[in-house]
A and B are shown apart, each in its own frame.
Chain A
Amino acid sequence: MWATSYLAMENRKTAEMTFWLLLTVNSITFASLLFLLAAGFSLIFGLMRIPNLMHGSLFMIGGYLGATFLGGMFETISFWVGAAASAIIVAVLGAVLERLLLRRLPGQPLAQVLVTLGISFIVADFCLMVWGGDPLTVPGPESLEGTIAIGPMAFPLYRLAVIAIAAIVAIVLWFLLERTRFGAMIRAGVDDPGMARVVGIRVSLLFTLVFALGAGLAAFAGVMAAPILQVYPGLDQYILPLALVVVILGGSGSLLGAIVGSLVIGFIYNFGQALVPELAYFVLFLPMLLVLLVRPQGLFGRFEI
Chain B
Amino acid sequence: MNSRTIAISVALVALMSLPYWVDGTYYVNVASQILFMAIFALGLNVIAGYGGLVSLGHAGLFGLAAYTTSYMLQIGYGHSASIVGGLFVGLGSMAIFAMLSLRATGIGFIMITLALGQIIWGLAYRWISITNGDNGISIHGRPAPFGIEIGSAESFYYATLLIFVVSFVAVLVFVNSPLGAALKGTRDQPRRMTALGYNVWMTRFLGCLFSGLLTAISGILYVYYQQFISPQAVDLTASAEVLLMVIAGGAGTLFGPIVGAALVVIVKSVVSGYIERWNMLLGAIFVFIVIFMPDGLVPGIGRIFRKFSVRKRNNQPQTLAVEGRQK
Residue positions of A touching B, CB distance < 8 A: 45, 49, 51, 101, 104-105, 107-111, 113-115, 117-122, 124-126, 129, 237, 241, 244-245, 248, 278-282, 285, 288-289, 292-293, 296, 304-305
Contact = CB atoms under 8 A, between A and B. Distances in A.
Nearest to A304: B108
A108 B108 contact: no
Given A296-B108, A305-B108, A105 B280 contact: no
B323 interface: yes
Given A110-B54, A292-B112, A296-B103, 18 more contacts: A104-B290, A109-B106, A109-B107, A110-B48, A114-B244, A114-B248, A114-B290, A115-B286, A115-B287, A117-B244, A122-B284, A125-B283, A237-B236, A281-B125, A281-B126, A285-B118, A292-B115, A296-B108
24 contacts: A105-B290, A105-B294, A107-B323, A109-B323, A111-B290, A113-B243, A113-B247, A114-B244, A115-B286, A118-B284, A121-B279, A122-B284, A125-B279, A125-B283, A129-B280, A237-B237, A241-B114, A279-B126, A281-B118, A282-B122, A285-B118, A296-B103, A296-B104, A305-B108
Nearest to B327: A304
A118 B286 contact: yes
Contacts of A111: 247, 290, 294-295, 323
A121 B48 CA distance: 22
Given A108-B294, A114-B286, A292-B111, A281 B104 contact: no
Interface string B74-102: 00000000000000000000000000100
Interface of B: 48, 54, 100, 103-104, 106-108, 110-112, 114-116, 118-119, 121-122, 125-126, 236-237, 240, 243-244, 247-248, 251, 277, 279-280, 282-287, 289-291, 294-295, 323-326
B247 A121 contact: no
Nearest to B104: A296
Is chain B's interface secondary structure helix, strand, loop, or mixed overall? Answer: helix
Contact of B323 (A110, A125, A289, A305): A110
A280 B122 contact: yes
| Top 4 closest pairs, chain A to chain B, by CB | A118-B286, A121-B283, A281-B122, A122-B283
A101 B100 CA distance: 34
A293 B103 contact: yes
Contacts of A101: 287, 290-291
Contacts of B106: 109, 305
Nearest to B115: A285
A118 B287 contact: yes
A155 B277 CA distance: 42
A110 B294 CA distance: 9
Is chain A's interface secondary structure helix, strand, loop, or mixed overall? Answer: helix
Contact of A117 (B121, B122, B286): B286
Contacts of A121: 279-280, 282-283, 286
A101 B291 CA distance: 7
Given A248-B111, A305-B104, A110 B324 contact: yes
A126 B114 contact: no
Contacts of B291: 101, 104
A107 B325 contact: yes
A256 to B, nearest CB: 20
A282 B286 contact: no
A285 B117 CA distance: 10
B54 A293 contact: no
Given A108-B323, A117-B286, A237-B237, A289 B277 contact: no
A237 B126 CA distance: 20
B122 A119 contact: no
Contacts of A107: 323, 325-326
A279 B108 CA distance: 24
Nearest to A112: B290
A287 to B, nearest CB: 10
Given A114-B289, A117-B240, A292 B294 contact: no
B118 A241 contact: yes
